[in-house]
Amino acid sequence: MTFDVERVRRDFPALDEGIAYFDGPGGTQVPRQVGEAMAQVMTSGISNRGQVTAAERRADEVTVGARQAVADLLGCDAGGVVFARSMTQATYDFSRALAKEWDEGDEVVVTRLDHDSNVRPWVQAAGAAGATVRWVGFNRETAELTVDDVRGQLSGRTKLVAVTGASNVLGTRPDLTVIAEAVHDAGALLYVDGVHLTPHAPIDVAAFGADFYGCSPYKFFGPHHGIVVAAPELLERIHNDKLLPSTDAVPERFELGTLPYEMLAGTTAAIDYIAGLASDAPDRRSRVLESMRAVEEYEEGLFARLLEGLRGIDGVTLHGDPKRRTPTAFFSVAGREGREVYEHLAAAGVNAPASNFYALEASRWLGLGDAGAVRAGLAPYTNADDVERLIAGVAEVAK
């Protein structure tokens, strides 16, 4: 089965308005199938999880089903899938729980490439525990972050390293597998922000060597909530604050309060949707991997044209040029504020905002201050016509 973008586009009612959406890195549009699955759960007989009534069993099936769907998406154990309100929320929760074991003089490593959700929770938790924060920079020209950059900040006191799977502004994909090896050699844990990587590549958390891996379904066609996965044995060793009557079982003890069943159903539907993008293999994990390989290849081709088009415009500066990247461009136009470019494009029906996109450290590190630059990211529903409209819009505002 091949990837057919026009078939995919027909599933997205939002595209009927004629907008070219390049703001997928901020959240993708949603296919009809996901909206329907959520509505169906909202209005079906459902109550708290249990096994006595049909309504209880339905809530249970939705939850267990969503954990399995995430396991098929990420290549992890379904018993280690933790649902949260957002990735930010989950990271704050884990940072506080893990920091209970940190002492004065212990060290935590964060990067200047990461979204602030994988920086500030660690900086603040370290501060509260008296631990030291060590910073990993990245190459300002290429935007690459290497294992040597990470290694330079490791020591015998390192407790945890937080690193992104892909930068949500520059697209950089650090080599997680080699970074994980270095982190584990130092006896530390690796917390990976996979929010921007997950929509663009086949994911294998075990192969990456990530101890924790976070992602957000609203970046891959699903609803607005967050996920962090880890091995159940690792979760067993972490003791978070929780209510007295709530279960101590893993992963439930990390999911404070009642889960949003309609969101979980939406996430399962989004993963089923991804699985069907370009594969009819017999099991869902294989379908996900095949489809994501096809998405990666499709987006790579389209992105090459986007880069070529932007590079051909006088006055456009593309920030970073990493070898391994997601199809996400971060650029400035000489003599124009990012906001002007953003508004000009919006008036032409092309959505590509300008901001630091919460990658605040990266924006400052690049000398772009807090204003950042314009970001154009591809999604599987982006077509060649969208890309030409973006290039034409930028060319006009650059005149």
Ligand X SMILES: Cc1ncc(COP(=O)(O)O)c(C=O)c1O
Q: Which residues bind ligand X (CB under 6 A)?
A: 25-26, 86-88, 115, 117, 164, 168, 193, 195-196, 216, 226, 358
Q: CB 66 → ligand X: shortest distance, Å?
A: 16
Which residue, 325 or 389, is less far from ligand X as judged by CB? 325
Which residue, 62 or 113, is less far from ligand X as judged by CB? 113
Q: CB 204 → ligand X: shortest distance, Å?
A: 19
Token pair, residue 132, equals 């030291």
Which residue, 338 or 393, is less far from ligand X as judged by CB? 338
Q: Whole-angstrom Cα distance, residue 198 to residue 288?
A: 11
Which residue, 109 or 166, is less far from ligand X as judged by CB? 166
Which residue, 108 or 313, is less far from ligand X as judged by CB? 108
SS3 per-residue string spanning the chain: CCCCHHHHHCCCHHHHHCCEECEHHHCCCCCHHHHHHHHHHHHCCCCCCCCCCHHHHHHHHHHHHHHHHHHHHHCCCHHHEEEECCHHHHHHHHHHHHHCCCCCCCEEEEECCCCHHHCHHHHHHHHHHCCEEEEECCCCCCCCCCHHHHHCCCCCCEEEEEEECCCCCCCECCCHHHHHHHHHHCCCEEEEECCCCCCCCCCCHHHHCCCEEEECHHHCCCCCCEEEEECHHHHHCCCCCCCCCCCCCCCHHHCCCCCCHHHHHHHHHHHHHHHCCCCCCCCHHHHHHHHHHHHHHHHHHHHHHHHHHHHCCCCEEECCCCCCECCEEEEEECCCCHHHHHHHHHHCCEECCEECCCCHHHHHHCCCCCCCEEEEECCCCCCHHHHHHHHHHHHHHHC
Strands 354-355 and 373-377: antiparallel
Which residue, 186 or 354, is less far from ligand X as judged by CB? 354
Which residue, 226 or 338, is less far from ligand X as judged by CB? 226
The torsion angles phi and psi of 273, rounded to 5 degrees, stand at -65, -45
Q: CB 92 → ligand X: shortest distance, Å?
A: 9
Q: Whole-angstrom Cα distance, residue 175 to residue 76?
A: 19
Q: CB 117 → ligand X: shortest distance, Å?
A: 4
Q: CB 71 → ligand X: shortest distance, Å?
A: 19
Which residue, 26 or 35, is less far from ligand X as judged by CB? 26
Q: How many of the other CB atoms lie within 10 Å of CB of 143?
A: 23
Which residue, 196 or 325, is less far from ligand X as judged by CB? 196
Q: CB 271 → ligand X: shortest distance, Å?
A: 16
Which residue, 28 or 279, is less far from ligand X as judged by CB? 28
Q: CB 193 → ligand X: shortest distance, Å?
A: 5
Q: CB 52 → ligand X: shortest distance, Å?
A: 34
Q: CB 340 → ligand X: shortest distance, Å?
A: 23
Q: CB 315 → ligand X: shortest distance, Å?
A: 27
